[in-house]
Amino acid sequence: DAGVIQSPRHEVTEMGQEVTLRCKPISGHNSLFWYRQTMMRGLELLIYFNNNVPIDDSGMPEDRFSAKMPNASFSTLKIQPSEPRDSAVYFCASSFSGTSGLTYEQYFGPGTRLTVT
Amino acid sequence: AQSVAQPEDQVNVAEGNPLTVKCTYSVSGNPYLFWYVQYPNRGLQFLLKYITGDNLVKGSYGFEAEFNKSQTSFHLKKPSALVSDSALYFCAVRVGSSNTGKLIFGQGTTLQVKP
């Protein structure tokens, strides 16, 4: 398996521009997570989906951030308009979650390093 | 409130010596605990987890972790450190129901292994 795939790996954009980050989870996984990592705040959970449905978006910083998961193999995180304080590494992770009570680990993608100037 | 704490920002150890990276947690109900490692410019990699059973859990790359319910701790250990173990280590705990798998992470501990 190719693992979690994220694109682009690096993104440099100007303040005010729209940014779209993409994620392809591991096939068969039904939970998907978007994280942001910065030196100041560490690793923060932004939003997560279960079976393509957003379960908890309480970590989304503000209305400029939105995420979608139109199908089981694709998700996007969009920032519009972007600001310099959005500069961070954004990770996507996926896992399998079921009703059996078993807890499975999350697998992380390589991340997208976003720089907003 | 449910939380996980890593009390040390950095741990320094000489190659060949045993290492310990500390983690404490606070959750309601049974804890499900994880350790991850992050190498520079990479995503987090799963090392090991405790769900139930034996308090000593063995994972990847020779790492193990000891679950201690009375001390609410889940310290990561390795008998003999390697320079290549130098990385950022995260402890995490599952919150919410098992069918969603949400984790909260500690702030991370940088492990520096010197030759």
pLDDT at B31 over 60: yes
Which residues of B fall within a CB distance of 8 Å from A43?
A: 44, 90, 105, 108
Half-sphere CA count of B47, side-chain side, radius 13 A = 27
Q: What is the pLDDT of residue A86?
A: 96
Q: Which two tokens stand for residue A58?
A: 């309480």
Which residues of B fall within a CB distance of 8 Å from A47?
A: none
Report d(CA A48, CA A66) in Å as an integer. Answer: 12
pLDDT at B14 over 60: yes
Beta bridge partners, B38, equal: B44, B88
Q: What is the pLDDT of residue A99?
A: 64
Q: Which two tokens stand for residue A114?
A: 């976003």
Q: Can you tell me which residue has the tokens 């694709």?
A: A74
- Show Cβ contacts of residue A109 under 8 Å, excluding neighbours closer than 6 positions: A3, A4, A5, A6, A23, A91, A92, A93, B43
Segment B54-101, tens digit of pLDDT: 899 999 999 999 999 999 999 999 999 999 999 999 999 987 665 567
- Show Cβ contacts of residue B83 under 8 Å, excluding neighbours closer than 6 positions: B15, B113, B114, B115
B29, exposed or middle or buried, with CB in 10 Å at 0-12, 13-18, 19+? exposed
**Direct distance between the N- and C-terminal alpha carbons of chain A, in angstroms, rounded to an integer:** 36
Report d(CA B67, CA B113) in Å as an integer. Answer: 24
Answer whether B98 touches A (CB < 8 Å). Answer: yes
Closest CA to A27 of A90, A71, A68: A71
Segment A11-42, tens digit of pLDDT: 999 999 999 999 999 999 999 999 999 988 88
Mean pLDDT of chain A: 92
Q: CB–CB of A97 and B101 under 8 A?
A: yes
Give percent above pLDDT 70 in chain B.
Answer: 95
> What is the band of A97 on the pLDDT scale with cuts at 50, 70, 90?
confident
Q: CB–CB of A31 and B90 under 8 A?
A: no
Q: Which two tokens stand for residue A27?
A: 């096939």
Answer whether A112 touches B (CB < 8 Å). Answer: no
Determine the residue among A41, A51, A103 to mutate to test chain B binding: the one whose Cβ has the most chain B Cβ atoms within 10 Å. Answer: A103
Segment A78-88, tens digit of pLDDT: 999 999 999 99
Q: What is the pLDDT of residue A1?
A: 63
Nearest-CA distance from A85 to chain B in Å?
Answer: 20
Answer whether B5 touches A (CB < 8 Å). Answer: no
> What is the band of A101 on the pLDDT scale with cuts at 50, 70, 90?
low
The three-class DSSP label of residue A99 is coil
Q: CB–CB of B46 and A42 under 8 A?
A: no
Q: What single-letter amino acid sits at A60?
A: M
- Show Cβ contacts of residue A26 under 8 Å, excluding neighbours closer than 6 positions: A1, A3, A4, A94, A107
